[in-house]
């Protein structure tokens, strides 16, 4: 017997789509709480754009969830909004692909720093790399450092958004605002 509800099984098979990820991913294992749900999710990989979770409770593509989780090695809790992009049946669990929708600047920085620390581990920039880290570092170097490039692109995107936001705040000119005396004169 399938663990999916009968209504879900009546839906047509989803189309296989190509990898839509626009940011680097890092393996992770952390508890993710969804507001309004008692069933926990466990994150398996994470990137600037979203995360892949495993769960028992289906969350259907297109739906939105409020997520709360802490990154390994940190006590900071991230509160983010997410949109379900994919739902796949695994052996005993469901795999849910989530895209982050509402990431605060603070959460973006925490996530970027976490991914950057992971990149440093993978590229062999630690004090005493293990043989596994050395092999991974060699492989990453052979790949022209795609993870680092993707992280740098993500950071540049964050900075560009911050600059656009700051520019829009500063772009309000005084001449567009009515004078207080003209507003009180009408009353």
Domain ranges of the chain: 6-103, 108-170
Residue with tokens 């409020």: 66
- Would you mind telling me the total number of residues written for the chain in this entry? 187
Average pLDDT of the segment spanning 59-86 = 92
Residue 98 has pLDDT above 90, yes or no: yes
In this structure, what DSSP letter does residue 92 have? S
Residue 167 has pLDDT above 80, yes or no: no
The first and second tokens of residue 28, run together, are: 């992770």
Percentage above 90 pLDDT, the chain? 24
pTM listed for this prediction: 0.55
Residue 11 has pLDDT above 50, yes or no: no
pLDDT value, residue 50: 93
Q: How confident is the model at residue 36 (pLDDT cuts 50, 70, 90)?
A: confident
Residue 183 has pLDDT above 50, yes or no: yes
pLDDT higher at 19 or 156: 156
Give the number of other CB atoms < 10 A from CB of residue 92: 8
Residue 166 has pLDDT above 90, yes or no: no
CA distance 150 to 155: 9
Cα→Cα distances 120→104, 128, 134, Å = 24, 12, 12
For 31, phi then psi, to 5°, come to -75, 135
Any idea which architecture 6-103 has in CATH? Beta Barrel (2.40)
Give the pLDDT confidence of 134-157 residue by residue, as tens digits.
665 565 556 555 666 666 667 777
């Amino acid at each position: 017997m399938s663990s999916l509800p009968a209504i879900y099984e009546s839906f047509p098979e989803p189309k296989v789509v190509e990898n839509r990820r626009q940011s680097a991913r890092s393996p992770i294992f952390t508890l993710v709480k969804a507001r309004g749900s008692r069933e926990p999710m466990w994150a398996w990989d994470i990137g600037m754009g979203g995360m892949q979770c495993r769960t028992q409770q289906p969350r259907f593509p297109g739906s939105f969830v409020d997520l709360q989780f802490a990154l390994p090695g940190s006590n900071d809790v991230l509160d983010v909004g997410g949109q379900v992009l994919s739902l796949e049946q695994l052996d005993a669990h469901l795999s849910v692909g989530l895209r982050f929708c509402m990431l605060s600047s603070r959460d973006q920085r925490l996530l970027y720093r976490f991914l950057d620390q992971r990149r440093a581990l993978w590229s062999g920039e630690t004090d005493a790399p293990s043989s596994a880290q050395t092999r991974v570092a060699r492989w990453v170097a052979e790949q022209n450092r795609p993870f680092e490039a993707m992280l740098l692109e993500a950071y540049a995107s964050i900075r560009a958004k911050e600059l656009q936001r700051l520019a829009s705040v500063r772009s309000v000119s005084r001449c567009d605002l009515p004078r207080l005396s003209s507003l009180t004169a009408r009353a």
